[in-house]
Chain A
Amino acid sequence: MNDPPPKLNPDTGLLCLSDAAFGVVEQLAKRGGDLVDAPGLRGQMARLRAVSVLDSEDQIHPSLTSTLAAIRHAETELVLTGTERLARIWVAAPRAALLLPIDDSNLRRLTHLPLWMLPETISRIVGLGPRPRPAGPAVPLSTRGAGDTRSHWTLARIATRPGERDRDASLEIVDTAAGLWVVKPGDDGPMASPSDPTAVWRAIIRLVRPSDTAAQTSQVT
């Protein structure tokens, strides 16, 4: 096994771990003790025990209870991607769990936070802030050019329960020196429409809010 060992801060519940170790933690969250055997599972379990993520009876450390509860009971799961995956997010109001990469490391950081903190957290990750306001009609994304692109990211909501495919929605943004553009499918390929930080901020809120109050689709202009 060549991935680094997990590290748990027992005071905050912040857990740094590899993708392989997270796979075990995710199984523990979603399946309880009924784990699906997989290559490396026993080794990962031993590593999690070694740093007290699991006790001798494979009970999860109390500091991780909120995080795992958010994963287990998530009614909305989101994936934030840029040039690489930026975050996985599970929403189970009033909490959310967040899995983030750690710079210059193949470890990820798993934590929980109040749901009200999630729009700001996502905005911080993608660097949302004041921008010029581009004008004009939608243009094919392929013709917009990439020279002034600062980032290109997508926040996608994933159905978490059977029959909820209609709740899928995503927000795709091209962030440029000239401002923000929202990307939507067009008849002849993706189209980029001028947008602004307020519209993007509102769309993020709609995506992260629980289903009983969230809009069915994310509309941003």
Chain B
Amino acid sequence: MTSGSDEPWATYRHDDAGFAVSLPTGWPVDGEVDGCALVCVEPPSGTPPAYLPPSIVVTVDELPDDEPFDRWLSRFRVSLAEIYNEVRLVDLEDTLLGDVPAYRTLSHYLHAVVGGVCADQWCIPALGRVYVVTCSSGALEYDDFADTFQDVAAGFRLTTP
């Protein structure tokens, strides 16, 4: 795994999981978080922010042999109501990241400590897996980071193991 830092966007490669993603320079990456291939959080600047720092998380699910992706996606979206508190679905979008199909979900949920949170998520089925890129921010800060999150997703690509 490598993370560049000299460019406006740093490329992070996770060769074991078979993906690379572009991340904002200066956002530290943690590749050792249980259950996650990547966790990247905007570093604090000065006083602690009064809102949830924006974050980028990539997880990789093995797609069961007997489960079509459509069914997995339905299950994933239903599970948001179990994972998140008082979730509200704002947007669903079938899109392309490069030439790779991706299925985007924008939701709002209630975080016990910081309040409203927006989660922008792209599910990317490939190679018998589903890569999930989750970009989160405080609800009121979402507009500041939505373009960055879109760029992160657009920079996602599969790598040759």
Contact = CB atoms under 8 A, between A and B. Distances in A.
B139 A202 contact: no
B140 interface: yes
Chain B interface category by residue count: 10 to 19
- DSSP majority for the B interface? strand
Given A129-B89, A202-B142, A117 B115 contact: yes
B90 A128 contact: yes
B66 interface: no
Contact of B115 (A116, A128, A208): A116
Contact of B140 (A115, A129, A131, A196): A115
B140 A119 contact: yes
B17 to A, nearest CB: 27
Nearest to B106: A198
Interface string B128-161: 0000000000111011001000000000000000
B65 interface: no
Contact of B88 (A114, A124, A198, A209): A124
A120 B106 contact: no
A116 B113 CA distance: 12
Residue from the set A123, A131, A201, A209 with the largest chain B CB neighbour count within 10 Å: A201
B6 interface: no
Contacts of A128: 90
Interface string A117-143: 101100110001111010000000000
B142 A205 contact: yes
A201 B140 contact: no
Nearest to A115: B140
Nearest to B50: A94
A208 B106 CA distance: 19
A130 B91 contact: yes
A129 B93 CA distance: 11
Given A120-B108, A120-B116, A205 B139 contact: yes
Interface string B54-67: 00000000000000
Contacts of B88: 120, 123-124, 129
Interface of B: 51, 88-93, 106, 108, 114-116, 138-140, 142-143, 146
14 contacts: A114-B115, A116-B114, A116-B140, A117-B115, A123-B88, A129-B89, A130-B91, A133-B93, A196-B91, A197-B106, A201-B91, A201-B106, A202-B142, A209-B143
